[in-house]
Amino acid sequence: MWFLIKGSFWFSLVLITLPVLNSNSREALEDAPPLEVGQSMAAAVEALSDIRQICVRKPDICETGSETFAALGVRAKEGARIAYQFLDSKFADGEPDLVTGSLPLTN
């Protein structure tokens, strides 16, 4: 589950960065609200601090959240297994799962 959270973060970061690297996107971004990096970072740090304190204020929320993330992790794992089996059945070329070899003995 943690992999999905980190992956989502990095994927979002890539999507945010792509328009900066593309010169054709500058016209589309002219009407967008300005991005203040310093204020955004300060707000993010404050939000993380508040999120850390929520478990002290309301422990039942953290308990429910951890149970939810555990259930989502199990479902994601099962979904990955189903997807793997589906792709394996569609793209398998009939070769055995494991092929080993050996070298001839030299004297």
Please give the average per-residue pLDDT across 97-107, as a whole number.
72
Angle between helices 59-91 and 37-57 (to 10 degrees): 110
pLDDT number for residue 97: 61
17-21, 37-41, 42-46, 73-77: segment of lowest average pLDDT: 17-21
Q: Is the pTM of this model over 0.85?
A: no
Are 17 and 7 contacting, i.e. CB atoms less than 8 angstroms apart?
A: no
Which residue type sits at 12?
S
